[in-house]
Amino acid sequence: MMEKLSVNERFEIIENNLEVIRKNIEKAALQSGRKPQDITLMAVTKTVEPVFINHAIKCGIDLIGENKVQEFLSKEEYLDLKNCKAHLIGHLQTNKVKQIVGRVEMIQSVDSLKLAKEISKQSINKAVTTSCLVEVNIGQEESKTGILASEVINLLEEISSLPSIKVEGLMSIPPICEDKKELMQYFMKMNDLFVDIKAKNIDNINMNVLSMGMSGDYTEAILCGSTMVRVGSSIFGPRLY
Ligand SMILES: *Cc1c(COP(=O)(O)O)cnc(C)c1O
């Protein structure tokens, strides 16, 4: 279906999708007692060609998220990033840290001290400070990246003493759930963790960003306290691998 559409038709779909998503975000923000501008919309651009990413940016997107270091670096020169920031949201291997530090505004997938140490080291080398989120495996799934909720405080305390790395909050991808009620329990667990850690005022650790919610569940995530939703296929259409 998608490959039969012209570039202009796809541009129009992206515009319409963004309009719908912005309205949904606005509604959920108000419902959760916050302002629409308190919620950041990230466009997730994995597998999306630069021409379409640039169109979303033209339509006001000012934050994109890529999963893979290599994919981001190969697209970077074709992207209009003057008024748009980029975050790495996918799992990051220690040996790729060197390539990505300094290229993205934030790494959302920090899930070990080893990785944090390498980010710190490479940030010092490049004379930058790297903003990060700690990724939490809130469903305690064997197959998932992220650290267990019970280990987050320990990790944060260790990261807090590392130079040139700055934690700004938490990120999570909840398990696939049968129903919205179960899903919202995971989002609420994340929000509880976020609020608890914020109250601890750990030195050098900020809790400003709670990154959760994707195409299928961003409304629910906002209702449970998300401050940043990461939306891919609802903006750009289904991914063609
Ligand atoms: C792909 C991806 C998303 C977006 O998924 P959609 O369902 O297409 O909105 C969000 N976060 C992460 C970490 C992803 O890998």
76: part of which helix (H) or strand (E)?
Answer: helix 69-76
What atom in ligand 1 is closest to the CA of residue 234?
A: 9
Beta-strand ranges (E) seen in the chain are 40-44, 63-66, 85-88, 106-110, 130-136, 165-172, 205-211, 228-231
Q: Comparing C-alpha atoms, which of 31, 62, 113 is closest to residue 228? A: 62
Checking if the pLDDT of 116 tops 90, the result is yes
pLDDT 10s digits, 76-91: 999 999 999 999 999 9
Which residue puts its alpha carbon closest to atom 12 of ligand 1?
Answer: 89
Around ligand 1, the residues with Cβ closer than 6 Å are 44, 46, 67, 89-90, 173, 214-216, 230-234
Ligand 1 center to residue 234 CA distance, Å?
A: 10
- Span from the CA of 124 to the centroid of ligand 1 (angstroms): 30
From 45, 230, 239, mutation site for ligand 1 pocket: most ligand atoms within 8 A of C-beta? 230
Summarised one tens digit per residue, pLDDT across range 47-103 is 999 999 999 999 999 999 999 999 999 999 999 999 999 999 999 999 999 999 999
Which of 14, 41, 44, when mutated, tests ligand 1's pocket best, judged by the most ligand atoms within 8 Å of its CB?
44
Residues 200-215 pLDDT 10s: 999 999 999 999 999 9
pLDDT at 240: 75
pLDDT at 17: 98
The token pair that represents 237 in the structure block: 């259409």
**pLDDT value at 239 more than 90:** no
- Of 120, 110, 99, 119, the closest CA to residue 163 belongs to 120
Cα(161) to centroid of ligand 1, in Å?
Answer: 31
Which residue is closest in CA terms to ligand 1's atom 11?
230
Instruction: Round to whole Å and give the CA distance between 42 and 44.
Output: 6
State the average pLDDT over residues 164-189.
Answer: 96
Closest CA to 231 of 9, 48, 21, 7: 21
List, for residues 135-173, the tens digit of each pLDDT value: 999 999 998 999 999 999 999 999 999 999 999 999 999
What's the mean per-residue pLDDT of the chain? 96
C-alpha 238 – ligand 1 centre gap (Å): 11
Q: What is the phi/psi pair of residue 171, to 5°?
A: -130, 150
Which domains does the chain carry?
2-236 (3.20.20.10)
Gap between the Cα atoms of 51 and 34, Å rounded: 34
Q: Is the pLDDT of residue 182 over 80?
A: yes
Tell which atom from ligand 1 comes closest to the C-alpha of 218: 9
Going by DSSP bridges, is the β-strand pair 205-211/85-88 parallel, antiparallel, or unpaired? Answer: unpaired
Question: Over pLDDT 70: what percentage of the chain?
Answer: 98
What are the pLDDT digits (tens) for 223-236? Answer: 999 999 999 999 99
Q: Is the dihedral of CA 183, 188, 189, 190 positive or negative?
A: positive
pLDDT bracket for residue 2 (50, 70, 90) = low
With a CB cutoff of 8 Å and minimum separation 6, the contacts of 116 are: 110, 132, 155, 158, 159, 162, 165
The whole-number pLDDT of residue 4 equals 82
Calculate mean pLDDT across residues 127-137: 98
Output the residue whose Cα is nearest ligand 1's atom 5: 232
